Amino acid sequence: MEKEYKYLGRVNSPEDVKKLDKVEAEALCTELREHIISVTERNGGHLASNLGVIELTVAIHKVFDCPRDHVIFDVGHQSYAHKILTGRFDRFDTLRQSGGVTGFTNRGESEYDCFGAGHSSTSLSAALGFAKADQLSGNDAYTVAVLGDGAFTGGMIHEALNNCDKDLKLIIILNENEMSISKNIGRFASSLAKLRRKSGYFKAKRRTVSFVKKIPLIGEWLFNAIKGLKKSIKNSLYGSNYFEDMGLYYIGPADGNNYEDVEALLTAAKNAGESVLVHLKTKKGKGYAPAETDPNKYHGLRPLGSINPTGTDFSSEFGKAICSLAESDDRICAITAAMSSGTGLDGFAEAYPERFFDVGIAEEHAVTFAAGLSANGYKPVFAVYSSFLQRGYDQMIHDVALQRLPVVFCVDRAGFNNADGATHHGIFDVAFASQMNGMRIYSPVTYKGLYASLKTALSDEYPSVIRYPSGYESEIASEVFYKDGFDGKISVRRDFSPENMPDNIIVTHGRIVTECIKAKKILEDSGESVGIILCEYVAPYDNLSDEIAEIFKDKMPRKLIFVEEEIKNGGFGMTLSGHLKNKINYEKVRSDILAAEDAFVERKVGESYLEASGLDAEAIAERIRSI
């Protein structure tokens, strides 16, 4: 039974938050922590980051008038308290479930989620768009961007800062929770921060500025002289401030987990009359001892009761593989974009620190950096989630593929991701990477296949993509395609003899082969004959189509079905079938492609993304019957 709360349940909107006094607001913060911990431990999700911004979120909704004012969370994974306070408390127990509350901000979910996000460093650019649109339309609404210090490792934040106008109603909240991006500031700065938190500070400042500027003849000159002197004194005492150098009014730093201080600073920022950066220091995992002690471990939790039957997964096996290969080749380097643990590279970082590079949330830089390493004789491996690799698309084309540099992209989280949803679906990489001339694409379904793919890619003269899903290898695929063990080759495998060609042939690759095997059993139980061709690599398509055409050289099936866990347009099935039509006799063969028709499909309650896209075993079997 869910705990009964004194405030949660009756605080369902920003208007309800505004009615609370300081003591009640702090009590609400405590209840929010308890509820978020309870639901996240059960459903999985981002815990430590959400616990750190509780006071900040309550203060935002106390000071600003949402949804008229716009609040934009960077990444969006720290918006749980925001969701609860904006009418989603009753549904919050469905967090990250099919048909439930999403784990990120989502415009389709609530009017209070004014901008969707699942990737870092986008908030300030979006906030500038909102603030400028309000200015152009004469709307006096505020725009609030909430971003962590980690976001500043992404170039977009600095590009946006370079375009910040001083006269916008823009509040930038820098939530520093882990990495220091500024110098330690001494007693003078602390005193200044306290002064700025006083309610009369900004009013007095505006009156003084107005008075000085109105002095005949020398007003503007005197104002600029005083302003320059103030900045000179301040810089000499504790160093130049990056944000003020960019033209922003800077307030802070302050304790972001002290509700009273946060509310006071946000009120002051709102009354400043110009674009303001509020610098807060928060504690990741605040209020939950395990998360405070190890915020990295509690950044993202798996759902309660989720079990890995093998005790390992593709990410960890990739980490073992690259360490093994790097032991005998000191030119192998590993690159991550702030995802060392998530991609399995912690072991490599410890074993080969001089060859490990964490570039921060900067995928574009990571790709071109890898290209530079490669051009100068090293063997870079960039481990990255499929959805994050999308951010380096231009660099893959211009800096890697165009120059035919043998950079290896180890693409984790390939395919649908049920928990994180559309922002993290890895369903575009095959389509966009296969268009790059010379690119090799491997699609292992077992750990041994992953090792062989990585070893092959590192000895190749071309750029390569090795894509694998979240989770563990397919035991059912091993039983069907590797009965006699893995032979170490990356090839095209089949579970039938061409001499006894089945009526229906499924051509597939990657994790979805498991659904294809289940669909085959469904069809065979009803008297159909079915065979499966498993492609351990995808590109080059010319090579792949040659291998498959060889299987069909003497006899063709009645139906040929391509099944993939990616987008249809430009994808595996569409491209491979086009190549095959030039090499085999398609005249009497009925063919179809089963893939994601809608890349951003919505799930119903209890549905997986495979089911929502018509790619589960039952749907595959039914589609084959209907062809």
**Of 31, 55, 176, 363, catalytic:** 363
Chain-centre distance for alpha carbon 332? 26
What's the half-sphere exposure (Cβ side, CA atoms, 13 Å) at 170? Answer: 30
How many other β-carbons are positioned within 10 Å of the β-carbon of residue 505? 26
In the residue annotation, 558 being an active-site residue is answered as no
Q: Could you tell me if 42 and 19 are in contact, meaning their C-beta atoms sit under 8 angstroms apart?
A: no
How does DSSP classify residue 309? Answer: T
Kindly report the number of other CB atoms within 10 A of residue 205's CB atom.
Answer: 15
| φ and ψ at residue 441, rounded to 5 degrees | -130, 120
Spell out the alpha helix ranges (H) of 314-433. 314-327, 346-351, 363-375, 386-389, 393-395, 429-433
Q: Decide if 611 is catalytic.
A: no
Which residues lie closer than 8 Å to 602 by C-beta, 6 or more apart? 108, 612
Exposure string (b/e) for 279-309, b if CB count within 10 Å is 16 or more? Answer: bbbbbbbbbbeebbeebeebbbbeeeeeeee
331's CB contacts (< 8 A; 6+ apart) are 377, 378, 379
Q: How far apart are CA 215 and CA 239, in angstroms?
A: 31
- For the sheet with 70-73, list strands across it: 70-73, 143-148, 170-176, 276-281, 249-255
Active-site residue, 263 included: no
Q: Is the peptide bond before 540 cis (omega within 30 degrees of 0)?
A: yes
- Distance, in Å, from the CA atom of 4 to the CA atom of 103, rounded to the nearest integer, reads 23
3-state secondary structure 467-513: ECCCCCCCHHHHHHHCCCCCCCCCCEEECCCHHHCCCEEEEECHHHH
Among the listed residues 284, 286, 511, 568, the single catalytic one is: 284
**What gap in Å lies between CA 559 and CA 577, rounded to an integer?**
13
Q: Which token pair is 75?
A: 């990444």
Question: Which helix H or strand E contains 609, and what residues bound it?
Answer: helix 609-612
Neighbour tally for 137: CB within 10 Å: 8
Catalogue the active-site residues.
284, 363, 391
